[in-house]
Amino acid sequence: MADRPLQALFAPAAGPAIGGGHLMRDLALAQALEAYGLSCTFATPPWGERLLQRFAVSPPSIHPLARSGEPKAIAAVLGALAPDLLVLDDYSLAAADIAPLMHPGLRIAVIDDLANRDYACDLLVDPGYGRCGGDYVGRAPSTCEVLTGPSYALLRPEFERLETPAPDAGPVRRAFVSFGLSDVGAIAARAVEALRPRAPHVRFDVALASDAESLPRLQALAAADPGLVVHPDSRGVAALMRAADVAVGAGGSATWERCALGLPTLAVIVADNQRPMVHGMAEAGVLLGIEMAGVDFDGRLARAFDRLCRPEVRASLHIAARSVCDGRGASRVAEALLRLIRC
């Protein structure tokens, strides 16, 4: 009888208040592992299951949970499946939560961005801008392999770098707008309503979830404006981004998608954990960044967008963004995990 394929279990944080960033980057890693013959299962609540059904090219096996982030529930799935690898991507889980899950024959990987707690794992991945292994000294076990920086950003294959031309000196023709799957405070609609009057000759492609708060407002606007095109639950985001001259979006994990494509970006900080990275990348000239919080958001957004559209700014951002990330991080992490579970 042939040996069973190696198995990986993913347990990402997922839910309306959390968003889909954890789940989507884990899906990219699962896709990379499956290319090497691994069998991947997701332990996720119903919200995450619906997300996987909508966005996965081939929906993975799913083990339902009542909610994410509960070690006892994850332990029950481990007992049922007996996988070789457990991938945890949940800021609520620290070493004390993970240690009871460890047992001989199981390797544990953690995906993180914060470096703010103790970790119990064999491999840790933090793709944060400016992050280094030293940030985890004393937090991760001394035997843990730590992979840091945007070279390990977990992106789907369609975001792997291709040769893309630098922005031309002509006017902006297309703008890509996307704030991820959570649409905090109907931010997608707010952004379009603030920017569309300033750029009536620019086509706006807006990608968002089909249950986003902004969707009805945007669809109503698009019905009267042929230059505004709304893309609910789009699986063609990479193509939309490649066709765009500029992008406006949240400062989360989609930052790496835009960098891999060299897309000049105005990043809006919509969550506290995005602030350090966006500020650091803005100071380095990789993107433009503003806060969603604070007074006169519409005015600040409009002024930053005007700057983004300047040819010399677009050219500089394109070069800087491409230097940060090449879109091959999922393959690099998959290869590291294969070495780990085969040793």
200-225 pLDDT tens trace: 999 999 999 999 999 999 999 999 99
Distance of alpha carbon 279 from the chain centroid: 18
| 249 CB-near residues (< 8 Å, 6+ apart) | 176, 177, 178, 179, 180, 258, 265, 266, 267, 268
pTM, 2 dp: 0.93
- What is the C-alpha radius of gyration for the chain, rounded to an integer number of angstroms? 20
Q: pLDDT tens digit string along 220-269? A: 999 999 999 999 999 999 999 999 999 999 998 899 999 999 999 999 99
CATH number, domain 7-157+327-342: 3.40.50.11190
Say which residue the tokens 């707008």 belong to. 177
Q: What is the pLDDT of residue 16?
A: 82
Structure tokens at 231: 């893309």
Q: Parse the chain into domains and list their residue ranges.
A: 7-157+327-342, 161-322
HEC string for 246-307: EEEEECCCHHHHHHHCCCCEEEEECCHHHHHHHHHHHHCCCCEEEECCCCCHHHHHHHHHHH
What is the band of 1 on the pLDDT scale with cuts at 50, 70, 90? very low
Q: What is the pLDDT of residues 127-161, one digit of tens each?
A: 999 999 999 999 999 999 999 999 999 999 999 86
- Whose tokens are 């006892």? That residue is 72
As a whole number, mean pLDDT of residues 113-132 equals 96
Which pLDDT band, with edges at 50, 70 and 90, does 180 fall under? confident
Place of tokens 């000239």: 285
Half-sphere exposure (Cβ direction) of 329: Cα atoms closer than 13 Å: 29
pLDDT at 230: 98
> Among 3.40.50.2000, 2.60.40.1120, 3.20.20.80, 3.40.50.2020, what is the CATH number of 161-322?
3.40.50.2000
Residue 187's pLDDT band (cuts 50, 70, 90): very high
- How much is the pLDDT for 90? 97
Domains 7-157+327-342 and 161-322 are alike in CATH topology? yes
Task: Mention every residue, 6+ apart, whose C-beta is less than 8 A from residue 45.
Answer: 14, 15, 64, 65, 66, 67, 68
Q: What is the pLDDT of residue 165?
A: 65
pLDDT of residue 162: 64
Is residue 19 scored above 90 in pLDDT?
no
Would you give the distance in Å from CA 333 to the centre of its chain? 15
pLDDT value of position 164 = 61
Look at residue 195 and tell me whether its pLDDT is greater than 90. yes
